């Protein structure tokens, strides 16, 4: 059994912990066996150590940031109790995972209600951000702290962070409707979106010149019947966008009587 320390592992206390050259475990003074391993990189992982049948067991609970200190303490108490009763420290997860929900979300909702462009954006958010962080977690175990940690990790790209939050929120709303989680269960509630700065950029003269050359080359390929060549209608639409400043939808829905 690890020695008790004079430190109480609160969120503020864990935030302040650091080590220089070698990782170290800081134990809690109130719950024997509950600690946090701190690495020189700044990464902090909650652990539990207890003894059953004469043999010590150490279990990893989760990373600080994905778990709050309070959540880790409660989970540690449960693990210690299970070890002392001779049970498996972490019961096997049950039910659908976030990855299972994502698959149904894409097939039953996105494919039926979204165009190809939007579907690609949502799929990219899932594959690049949501599933690597939460994909293996059972739906019942996903808490607001997990969602907030994911959102915070993407803070340097507010648009991507907010999109991941929106996609995940919609997924859990559908999970409620499909009976996969209890009504009112949405861990995204309470996580505030970041402010997004609108971006407006104009092509430089050199960029206009290179785009014009590319369109001319594409037009020659289309006229020559090259396989995979860009449609002449797309080329014409791009030229109209360049020369008129109209919005994309205005050009794509343009009629002859409007010219």
DSSP H helix total and E strand total for the chain: 11, 4
What the block records as the tokens of 230 is 């860009």
pLDDT > 70? residue 234: yes
Q: What is the pLDDT of residues 61-97, one digit of tens each?
A: 888 887 888 888 988 888 888 888 877 776 655 678 9
pLDDT at 83: 82
Selected residue with higher pLDDT from 5 and 21: 21
Whose tokens are 């969602």? That residue is 147
Model confidence, pTM: 0.48
> Please, which residues have CB within 8 angstroms of residue 40's CB and are 6 or more apart in sequence?
19, 20, 21, 22, 23
Q: What are phi and psi of 61, to 5 degrees?
A: -95, -40
How far is it, in rounded angstroms, from Cα 108 to Cα 98?
Answer: 15
Top-ranked range on mean pLDDT: pick from 112-116, 168-172, 237-241: 168-172
Ramachandran area for residue 55 (φ above 0: left; ψ -120 to 50: alpha; else beta)? beta
Report the interhelical angle of 158-177 vs 116-125 (nearest 10°): 100
pLDDT at 101 over 90: yes
When mean pLDDT is compared over 34-43, 162-171, 191-200, the highest value belongs to 162-171
- With cut-offs at 50, 70 and 90, classify the pLDDT of residue 152: very high
Q: Are 129 and 164 in contact (CB under 8 A)?
A: yes
In sequence order, what are the residues at sequence separation of 6 or more whose Cβ sits closer than 8 angstroms to the Cβ of residue 250?
A: none
Q: Which residues share a beta bridge with 57?
A: 50
Beta carbons within 8 Å of 47's beta carbon, 6+ residues apart: 25, 34, 35, 36, 37, 58, 59, 60, 61
User: Is the model's pLDDT at 192 over the cut of 80?
Assistant: yes
């Amino acid at each position: 059994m690890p020695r008790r320390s004079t430190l109480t592992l609160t969120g503020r206390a864990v935030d302040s912990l650091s080590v220089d050259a070698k990782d170290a475990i800081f134990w809690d003074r109130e719950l024997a066996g509950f600690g946090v391993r701190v690495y020189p990189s700044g990464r902090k992982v909650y652990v539990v150590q207890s003894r059953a049948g004469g043999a010590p067991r150490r279990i990893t609970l989760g990373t600080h940031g994905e778990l709050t200190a309070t959540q880790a303490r409660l989970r540690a108490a449960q693990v210690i109790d299970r070890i002392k009763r001779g049970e498996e420290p972490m019961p096997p997860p049950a039910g659908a995972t976030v990855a299972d929900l994502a698959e149904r979300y894409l097939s039953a909702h996105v494919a039926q209600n979204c165009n190809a462009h939007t579907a690609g954006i949502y799929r990219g958010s899932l594959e690049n951000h949501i599933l690597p962080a939460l994909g293996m977690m059972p739906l019942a175990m996903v808490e607001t702290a997990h969602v907030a940690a994911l959102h915070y990790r993407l803070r340097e790209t507010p648009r991507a962070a907010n999109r991941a939050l929106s996609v995940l929120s919609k997924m859990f709303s559908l999970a409620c409707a499909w009976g996969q989680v209890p009504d009112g269960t949405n861990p995204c509630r309470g996580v505030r979106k970041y402010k997004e700065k609108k971006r407006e950029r104009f092509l430089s003269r050199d960029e206009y010149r290179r785009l014009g050359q590319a369109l001319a080359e594409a037009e020659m390929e289309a006229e020559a019947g090259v396989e995979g060549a860009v449609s002449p209608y797309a080329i014409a639409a791009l030229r109209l966008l360049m020369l008129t400043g109209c919005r994309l939808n205005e050009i794509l829905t343009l009629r002859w009587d409007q010219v």
